Amino acid sequence: MAMGSLESINQAIQFISGMLAPAIMISSCGLILLGLQTKYSNIIDRIRELNEEERHLELAPERDEFQERRMRSLKAQIEKLLFRARLDRNGIFSLYLAILSFVLTSLTIAPAYFGYFGLISFSLLLFLVGMGLVLIGILYVALEVLNSYKVVKYEVET
């Protein structure tokens, strides 16, 4: 086997390896998003249900003490759920931006492989930005999980 062809094989392996890292991160973000969007949808559905119940109570001509207490509880729960939904939305948005960054990383790796070496630093920067966005998205989700207990606790206590 000629030395040139061995070098070509090594370059091809490096190229494929370089393209795999962003692809793996895209898949990882996709898996995280799958569960996160389901949870986000459930929170939005719950907000709508509570909002509907609140509207029915508002239409009542007279409310007793129990209904007044329920109205206050509904308003507080909706507010807390909106905060959770905002955190999830921000996490989802960060993860989608991360996916965009990883796709752009993959697209800039190919020209770098074919001699546009100025793109190597840009590819690395895009990959690091993507990783940072994943971190931000995960932090938003972690904050949402911490706040989810507060909503359930409040609902049980009122």
- The one-letter code for the residue type at 77 is Q
Q: DSSP alpha helices (H): ranges in 60-117? A: 65-113
pLDDT band at 32 (very low <50, low <70, confident <90, very high): very high
d(CA 70, CA 19): 55
Q: What is the pLDDT of residue 3?
A: 52
Percent of the chain predicted with pLDDT > 90:
57
pLDDT band at 157 (very low <50, low <70, confident <90, very high): confident
Is the pLDDT at 147 greater than 60? The verdict is yes
Q: What does the pLDDT look like over 57-79, one tens digit per residue?
A: 988 888 889 888 999 999 999 99
| Domain residue limits, the chain | 19-157
142: Cα separation from own chain's centroid: 11
Sort residue 155 into left (φ over 0), alpha (ψ -120 to 50) or beta.
alpha
Mean pLDDT, residues 13-27 taken together:
82
Q: Give pTM, 2 decimals.
A: 0.82
